[in-house]
Amino acid sequence: MTYYRTTVTGVGPEAGDMLAAGVLILYAEPLPDALADVSVVHRPEDRSAALTIGVGDVVSVGGHELSVTAVGEIAAKNLDELGHVVLYVDQPDQKLLPGAVHAAGGVPDPRPGHVIEFRSLR
């Protein structure tokens, strides 16, 4: 079941460098100017309060699917309230920060118009 669906509206000029390092920063419009350069900016379309991010969920970015392996304690709240989450992709040794999500499955290549979905398999 999809519990969060959004569309990419922009990719900051430094977001590619972050992605190359396995870090995907999502932030919904409007976002702080300080984060615009490194973020994948999006416009949420559908949110379900019934579910939140959990281990084993799938994050699909333009059809590229990632499996959630760890969830920081405030990641779900940040996604719901700000549309903000930091995805660490294929970095199992990275310390889990409170607002972060660890995922596996290769680094996606987000582009404007791509749909991002968070889906529960629970």
Which residues, at least 6 apart from 72, have a Cβ–Cβ distance to it below 8 Å?
Answer: 96, 97, 98, 99, 100, 101
Catalytic residue among 42, 84, 102, 114: 42
Which residues, at least 6 apart from 33, have a Cβ–Cβ distance to it below 8 Å?
Answer: none
Helix (H, G, I), strand (E, B) or coil at 111: coil
What are 82's two structure tokens? 């700000």
64 is catalytic: no
The CA angle 26-32-27, to the nearest 5 degrees, is 10
The catalytic residue positions are 42
